[in-house]
Amino acid sequence: MNGRPDPNSTVRTDTDGPGDGKQVVFVVSIDVRPGCEAEFLRLVTPVLDAMRHETTFVNAVLHQDIQDPTRFMLYETWTDLDDLSQVQIHRDYRRPYLAGLSRILREPRQVRIWRPLRGDFTFFAAGTAARAG
């Protein structure tokens, strides 16, 4: 994303393009070596804690595969692809995470970039039902 290939990632872009003012979602699939799950969580937790304070950050959800605990999926929503690729990805708080991945990854991360089209959440539906009744 910084113009140089990341040896720990494969990136595919599925958006209209940077700077279009639309939210973008990064879905990152991460496969760690068996026994490295706790190390991965130790590396990623400070990144998630710091990201939430960025102005273009919307949300992030970290998932772990139910059938394979060495597989993780990170879902991140941002408001500006340019800011993410030119500024956020280079933040100092990401350096230990990126450096540590080379020791624990089973294979390169898979990164896909999406444009959200619709979101459905139960907390919105509950609020709408209460107002309608």
Bridge-based pairing of strands 9-13 and 109-114 is parallel
The pLDDT, as a whole number, for residue 107 is 96
User: Burial of 37 by CB count in 10 Å (0-12 exposed, 13-18 middle, 19+ buried)?
Assistant: middle
Token pair recorded at residue 110: 């898979």
Q: With CA atoms as reference, report the closest residue to 121 among 84, 77, 81.
A: 77
31 three-class SS:
strand
H-helix segments, the chain? 37-51, 81-86, 95-104, 122-132
Q: How far apart are CA 3 and CA 21, in angstroms?
A: 21
CB 70 within 8 A of CB 106: yes
Q: Name the residue with tokens 């500024």.
A: 87
Which class would CATH give 9-132? Answer: alpha beta
The residue ranges of the chain whose pLDDT is under 50 are 1-21
CA distances from 6 to 24, 28, 98 (A): 20, 13, 10
Q: How far apart are CA 26 and CA 112, in angstroms?
A: 6
Token pair recorded at residue 112: 């896909």
Q: How far apart are CA 77 and CA 95, in angstroms?
A: 20
The pLDDT, as a whole number, for residue 49 is 97
The pLDDT, as a whole number, for residue 123 is 72
